[in-house]
Structure 1
Amino acid sequence: MSTPSPVPDGNRKRLPNLFEVLSKRTLAPVDLFSFYIYMRDTQRSVDYLDFWLDVSQHMALCRHYVRELRRSVLVGTPELEKSGSKRSSQVLETLPSDLHEPAGPSTYSTYPTEKPTQDQRLSAFLRTNSDSKKNSPSNSHDQGSQGATPESENPRPSFMTTNSNSPAADSNSPAHTVARADIRASAEKVLYTYLLPGSEREIILPQGILNDITRSIEEEGRDDPEVFDAAKDYVFQAMERDAFPGFLRAKALGNLVQPSMMVRLIVGMISMLGAFWTTFALIFLNHSRATRCWIVLPFTVAIYLIASWQYMLDPILALAGASEYTFMDFYRIKEPFIRQLLNKRAIMCLGWIVIVDVATCCLFIFVPGKRL
């Protein structure tokens, strides 16, 4: 049984929220890839988003492990369903069956009752399962005779040997089986990559949260997703407060990236300087008004480019349904509400460009000339 992919909501009549972007329920230009580029190039804090994605990947790995365990119990021992043994019914009831919701902050309001309960059930089962394996006499005997459990001999997909979100990872092939050692390795990878002082991509979190996570993983031996709940909530709120509003302004209200805006500003100012120099030269050389009509070209270019910088929007590109991922890398606008919003802003921007351009050109064309 494979996990269904999130379906983008094409009927949204509002701007998306951060959870919808992280859950891949939005389309360009407010999709997860655009947010990743914004965090990397503009906010310079992509490590926070990578931490969120890796914790979500850890959650997906845990869900895949539980699904496989549930399937093995149901398929390997079908007589347990028919027998009324208390132990069998407890095993089947403890394993969560609905594990298809995307990972999100534990306090997110979209799931006021269901989501925390589901995550708590998953984490509680993993903790119980881990404790039962540690205290099992048969497990101790196997470790003494073989040196390692069969699970610990499997590859570690948390270090990119297997992608638990890929179709292959959801197959029934034993080669894609997720072992408990893989979950442990995934939790340790998150800890050693983002949380410990001096780690490769250390993120700033409150010391109390760091201490709790470190103690839970290293001393208590926990690897369930609930270990990272406090850190994940803190990172989510930080991105929602500090980065996401700027992302919406850049992508939902504009279609240009910072390097492109700076180029337009520089070229626009140079064009404006050239337009004024040409205009005053024609006026003080007493050229005819027909000749002075040529100043429309540099003024139009200058006003258009400066307005694009001011509004963070190229109106012609917006009306054509295009936006920028990176400098000079354009893509189609697929989110319907964003397309409508950008079209309205593009029409408004073009209106102001035309008004300012006409007023400026008329002023310098019809002013009387005087040869100096």
Structure 2
Amino acid sequence: MPGADAEVSLPAETSDHHPIQSGSGNNNANVIKSKLADVSDLQDYYDALDELEKQNGKLQTFNTMPETDTRDRWPTLFEILNKKTQSPLDLWSFYVFMRDEAHSIDYIDFWIDTVQHINLCKVYVKGLKDSLLVSARARQSDIVSNALNVNNKSLLIGEIEPPQTRYSVKRSDSVKHDAATNRASQNSSKNSGSSSMLLDLLMKHDLFEGEDPHRLSTFLRGEHSVRTSDPVVNARIDEIKRKSQNFPSSTSINQADITEGSKSNHSSSNFRISRINPEMVETLIQDDFDTKHRSYDKAHLISRVSLRKSTRNILNTYLSDDAEKRIDLPTEILDKVRFELETQGRDDPEVFDEAREYVFKAMEYDAYPNFLRNHALKNVTRKSAAIRIMLSMISGLAAFWTGYTLIFMNYEPKPTRAVVVVPFFFMSYFFFTAFYRVDPILCYAGYCESNSTPGGVLPIREPYVKKLLRKRSWFVLTVLCAVAAAFSVIFALVPGRRLTHSS
């Protein structure tokens, strides 16, 4: 049975990455500032994970493992970060460990913020897609409604006018009305038709596919393109491109890319390849909103500006030289991310991929094995272990005082001396539970001590952890009972001799 930490194999460390350094955020281990104060503060992160799972089943990243209900192994760090584990290996326990023991809270804060940014990007693209679909349905509804209104108006005029009047003005009114109606109908039909065809083209090219992170990032960078030979659609694309150049959230970098990518590339079939970026899609949606005297920005909580604010916040918080929670990254990664954010104006999820992978490997190399060692193989905290050592010393003092008193007073009958088993048991219990940091009674009650809850106790819900702790509890219980029994037998059976004071 496992009696020491070395007897239970922990996940292998990755030798290609440096371990997390204590106090890496602000180079001061005595000042560790956490952005989360309570487990309820993780709700936004949990909501982001739930939304990501709804959209693409599982967050696409490295070291993914299949989820099982009966996991007979150590949970991976990826599973911990993605809310796939239970106490005492849940995300909040790992967060508190990074804050209080590893002193590297900035790493996990960076991970949480980048995951929320990924979700923000996916929600933004999903909002664009939903808005386009709603606008398309609204256009079709308006066309049908206008047609019905024209027919109803003609019928109403025919009913209220007398025949002779109707006949005299019928020709002139009909000509004027038909001309105006035809002009409005042609303009509306032209815009509606071109927008509908463009929407069909965008959907055909899967521009709003959020399940593939690479396609999502490519779309946000304005590198997606559509290919069509329809002059109406190409004219509509040119019109939207001109309007999008003055769109509030557009940038000069992206617009330069769009202009270059949108140049006509005529082939033998007169096909043209045009780049499409989010600003152009927002402009297409805004045109429909303008006709209804509404604002796109007011109707959508998440816009392109929101994405840029998110990336700017991550840059200023973790990556800039004077950042309060600056994380230690290799110079080449840090310079690349800064260039892409500050110079290229990128806000897609892939801009943080290398930094996220490095942070993940850093936590996996150093913090993750120590977290398992302290929270999966043990159910007693360091503070509690120190208290137990003190209680063990007090119990030992009481045990030896009682034992020697009974011996040197030659207390009879000898079986009565078995009372020393009580203080010796408590002495052994407190000492070995502090030494191994495993409390058998607490373990078989289904609980463990923890610093992550106000009450200091957590239920053990992770099956594999519960199994390991029970094995270790049997070992600790056997050792402490053997030691307590040995001391009790010695002090109970040793011959007594009453000490007398000689004058």
Bin for the TM-score computed over the shorter chain: 0.7 to 0.9
For the residues of structure 2 that align with 1:92 and 1:65, how far apart are their CA atoms? 19
Partner amino acid for 1:250? N
Q: Does 1:64 align with 2:123?
A: yes
- Structure 2 SS opposite 1:331: strand
Q: Which amino acid in the other structure matches residue 323 of structure 1?
A: C
In the alignment, does 2:217 pair up with 1:123?
Answer: yes
Q: What residue identity is the alignment partner of 2:436?
A: Y
The equivalent of 1:195 in structure 2 is: 319
Asked if structure 2 preserves the Cα contact closer than 8 Å seen for 1:261 and 1:312, the reply is yes
Q: What is the CA–CA distance in structure 2 between the aligned matches of 1:329 and 1:226, rounded to whole Å? A: 40
Residue deviations 1:318-341 (CA, integer Å, cap 9, x gap): 101112232752122222222222
Rounded Cα–Cα distance in structure 2 between residues aligned with 1:22 and 1:46: 14
Decide whether the 8 Å contact of 2:51 with 2:119 is kept in 1: no
The aligned counterpart of 1:204 is: 328
User: Structure 2 counterpart of 1:279, which letter?
Assistant: G
TM-score, with length taken from structure 1: 0.78
Aligned residue number for residue 306 of structure 1: 431
- 1:256 matched to 2:380? The reply is yes
For 2:114, give the aligned amino acid. Answer: V
Name which of structure 1's ranges 78-87 and 200-209 shifts more when overlaid on structure 2. Answer: 78-87
Q: Measured at CA, do residues 141 and 179 of structure 1 come closer, stay the same or move farther in structure 2, by a change above 3 Å?
A: closer
1:226 is the counterpart of 2:350: yes
Q: Taking structure 1 as reference, are residues 72 and 260 closer, same or farther at Cα in structure 2, changes over 3 Å only?
A: same
Q: Which of 454, 457, 464 pairs up with 1:337? A: 464
CA distance in 2, matches of 1:309, 1:258: 8
TM-score normalised by the chain length of structure 2: 0.59
Q: Distance in 1 between matches of 2:247 and 2:79?
A: 46
Structure 2 contact 87–462 (Cα < 8 Å) conserved: yes
Query: 1:42-61, CA deviations, whole angstroms, 9 ceiling, x for partnerless residues?
Result: 11111111111111111111
Query: 1:1-372, aligned counterparts within 5 Å?
Result: 3-4=52-53, 9-77=68-136, 85=197, 88-90=200-202, 92-99=204-211, 118-128=212-222, 136-141=241-246, 143=248, 177-288=301-412, 289-326=414-451, 328-372=455-499
Cα deviation per residue 1:75-116 (whole Å; 9 max; x = unaligned)? 3236899999578424553435353xxxxxxxxxxxxxxxxx
Between the aligned partners of 2:119 and 2:198, the Cα distance in structure 1 is: 30
Name the stretch that deviates more: 288-297 or 247-256: 288-297
CA contact (8 A) 1:303 1:357 kept: yes
Alpha-carbon spacing, 1:334–1:351, altered in 2? closer, same or farther (3 Å): same
Moved more, 187-196 or 257-266: 257-266
Contact 1:63 1:122 in 2 (8 A): yes
d(CA) in 1 for partners of 2:247 and 2:198?
26
Q: Residues 143, 319 of structure 1: CA spacing in aligned structure 2 closer, same or farther, 3 A cutoff?
A: closer
Q: Single out whichever of 286-295 and 263-272 deviates more from structure 2.
A: 286-295
Aligned residues, how many?
326
Cα separation, 2, equivalents of 1:75 and 1:14:
48
Residues in 1 aligned to 2:219 and 2:334: alpha-carbon distance in whole angstroms: 24
**Unaligned runs of at least 5 residues, structure 2:** 1-49, 59-66, 141-191, 226-236, 250-278, 280-296
- Of residues 265-274 and 355-364 in structure 1, the stretch that sits farther from structure 2 once superposed is 265-274
- Give, in angstroms, the shift of residue 347 of structure 1: 2.4
The answer to whether the 8 A contact 1:283-1:370 is kept is: yes
The percent identity for this pair of structures is 40
